[in-house]
Amino acid sequence: MPQFTDGVIERLFGVEDAENEEPERLKQYFFRNKAYESVIENLPIRIVVGHKGVGKSALLKVAYLEDERRNTMAVWIKPSDIVRYMTHSEPDLNRMCCDPVVSSS
């Protein structure tokens, strides 16, 4: 009988969340639907709102990876990045977008 350890399950189905999935693996099984098409349109900013677990992070991560592949400027900003900059005495959101320590963490 096969042993379904955590490692075997992860290899078969991927990790639980898009943030921790290997980019190439995520792109292999991500289903590009109408929501994806809306997100990749030529927009100056992308904000996705939805319930927990519906794939918001996966949607944005795949769009981000595709932007990088096409050499389109792509910045990954998490809520914790914004909070960290807003706690400074003089917050500079433009710096946040260009600071590699913050935008790549």
> Considering the entire predicted model, what is its pTM?
0.68
Q: What is the pLDDT of residues 58-70, one digit of tens each?
A: 998 999 999 889 8
Contact 74, 67 (CB under 8 A): yes
Contact 96, 103 (CB under 8 A): yes
Listed by start position, the domains of the chain span: 1-73, 75-105
Q: What is the pLDDT of residues 24-45, one digit of tens each?
A: 888 888 889 999 998 888 877 7
Q: How far apart are CA 96 and CA 94, in angstroms?
A: 5
User: What's the whole-number mean pLDDT along residues 39-54?
Assistant: 85
